[in-house]
Structure 1
Amino acid sequence: MRFALTIAMPMLGLTLAGTALAGGHFTDSLTFHPAGCEKVRECYLDGTFHYVDSKGKDWKAQKDDKTDGASIQDWAQSFIGEPFDPIFIRAAVIHDHYCDRHVRNMLWTHWVFYDGLLASHVSPAKAKIMYAAILIGGPKWIDLIPGKPCKQGTACIQSVSKVKLPNGAIVTTAEDAHSVIARGPQYDEPEVKAAIEEIRQKIESNPDAVSEEDILTEARKLPQNQFFFDNIDGVVINPPQNDIPQ
């Protein structure tokens, strides 16, 4: 069973709604090393692992990528399941690869986890709960976009030092060498746990009444998330004058 995906992202010029394929599909077998790594939640892929999402876009995790399984905190395992549950793990491996490398947009990366869960025959209700948890408490990142150099004698409209970063966020470098503002997951923060629990109850009560847009709206409500969602297209940074060729 598939849901019509209608997350509107006008700032990106992207629409996840529209004509979709019948469903996403994984194209490789998934195995890990060393033996028994699932017990300590530190596994490495034996080979490259591909996923083609329901829009036809290809995603892949690479040989020797590290994964800790699906992002299911201890307090949530009673109603979600174990991090290395076979029904979750394939989507989690793809999601981990892009969360660690920041080479694709945050919203697309979190959405592909949801899409992969549905392709793995996770129930729509549980897939929505897990997707909500990722959007609300999962890792966040946005691009730093190089702007035009400032002319001598003028002030740059913005530099990295003038960007007020959320608590816990840092400026770092993605695997493809572009700069990003990133922050790790916050699943154990009290307000995050409360928000996840609230939407879990709504979804379990009536899954069809909670859309993907509703989930995104709930994730945006947390003050610590607003910076990332408000700047999902990225933050333009002007190079300082001393970087401009004379």
Structure 2
Amino acid sequence: MLSDPAVAAEVTNPPQCKNCFIGELQLSPNPADPSGNTKLLAADLLYVDGNAQVWKAGAGDVTDGASIPGLFQPIIGGPWEKAYLPAAVMHDHYTNNAHMVRTWQSTARMFFSAMVVGNVEIIRAKLMYYAVYVFGPHWDKLAPGVPCGTNCIFSATSQMTFKPADYANAHGAELEQLKATIAAREISGDPLNLNDIENMARAKHPTHVFFVNDNTR
């Protein structure tokens, strides 16, 4: 992970790296939240994906990255899991109503690649990808967005229709079953790729409205 606070808000054109973070995750207390369940991003954090698209979580963003839903706790672990948190901060930003400037599909894939870059164990990363792909928030159109540099869009300028996340604990059995499948395929030397995982999600949830109406496949 590239980690230099001095260049947190600067990306070259073309970007100086792919599948990398630029800047360092720095969090500070949120004065508006005495419970401590949320924190503020103290400096910009950027992520460049494999397509050289730049993703930015900005200084002052509120994140509840620590508030890992109960559904995810058996996968990720306890609050402020270090490897997971930078990817979670990025995912929090781009699934917020004000920042839905890229598709839910590309946002989920960014989340996966950011987890891998952050050294989240691959079985966990694939399981989390399935979880957000199926149960995470979905939206059907993009907001125009506010540019934040080359290939970078930061915040939305209008609202849009979306389906909120459903991270109910009742989905735990489905994830446990999938975890065993992912692990078996890793051990066999024939690991599931993201297309495989998406196809499994669609087969399991054939009436999911955002799968039925997905024109990207």
Contact 1:219 1:225 in 2 (8 A): no
Residue correspondences, number: 183
Q: Distance in 2 between matches of 1:81 and 1:69?
A: 12
> What are the within-5 Å matches in structure 2 for residues 1-246 of structure 1?
24-34=19-29, 40-69=36-65, 72-100=68-96, 101-143=99-141, 175-177=156-158, 180-188=160-168, 190=170, 192-207=171-186, 208-221=190-203, 223=205, 226-233=208-215
Pair 1:71–1:57, CA change in 2 (3 A): farther
For 2:94, the aligned partner's letter is: Y
Gapped regions of structure 2 (runs ≥ 5): 1-15, 144-154
For 1:216, the aligned partner's letter is: E
For 1:106, the aligned partner's letter is: W
CA RMSD of aligned residues (A): 2.9
Pair 1:199–1:71, CA change in 2 (3 A): farther
Pair 1:70–1:220, CA change in 2 (3 A): farther
Larger radius of gyration: 1
Contact 1:133 1:196 in 2 (8 A): yes
Kindly state the Cα deviation for residue 224 of structure 1 after the two structures are TM-superposed. 8.3
Pair 1:200–1:86, CA change in 2 (3 A): same
Q: Distance in 2 between matches of 1:67 and 1:225?
A: 32
**What TM-score comes out, normalization by structure 1 length?**
0.65
Pair 1:35–1:42, CA change in 2 (3 A): closer
**More off after superposition, 202-211 vs 132-141:** 202-211
> 1 or 2 for the larger relative contact order (CA 8 Å, sep ≥6)?
1
Moved over 3 A (4+): 221-225
Identical pairs, percent: 30
Kindly state the Cα deviation for residue 189 of structure 1 after the two structures are TM-superposed. 5.8
For 1:27, the aligned partner's letter is: I
Q: Distance in 2 between matches of 1:68 and 1:111?
A: 20
Q: Deviation digits for residues 120-175 of structure 1, max 9, x if unmatched?
A: 12222221111111112111111189xxxxxxxxxxxxxxxxxxxxxxxxxxxx82
Kindly state the Cα deviation for residue 26 of structure 1 after the two structures are TM-superposed. 0.6
**Correspondence for 2:5:** none
Q: Distance in 1 between matches of 2:36 and 2:200?
A: 32
Q: Deviation digits for residues 167-226 of structure 1, max 9, x if unmatched?
A: xxxxxxx8232x532111111162x33322221121122234322112112322455862
Kindly state the Cα deviation for residue 232 of structure 1 after the two structures are TM-superposed. 3.0
**What TM-score comes out, normalization by structure 2 length?**
0.73
Secondary structure, in 3 states, of the residue corresponding to 1:51?
strand
Gapped regions of structure 1 (runs ≥ 5): 1-20, 146-173, 235-246
Kindly state the Cα deviation for residue 107 of structure 1 after the two structures are TM-superposed. 0.3
Kindly state the Cα deviation for residue 105 of structure 1 after the two structures are TM-superposed. 0.3
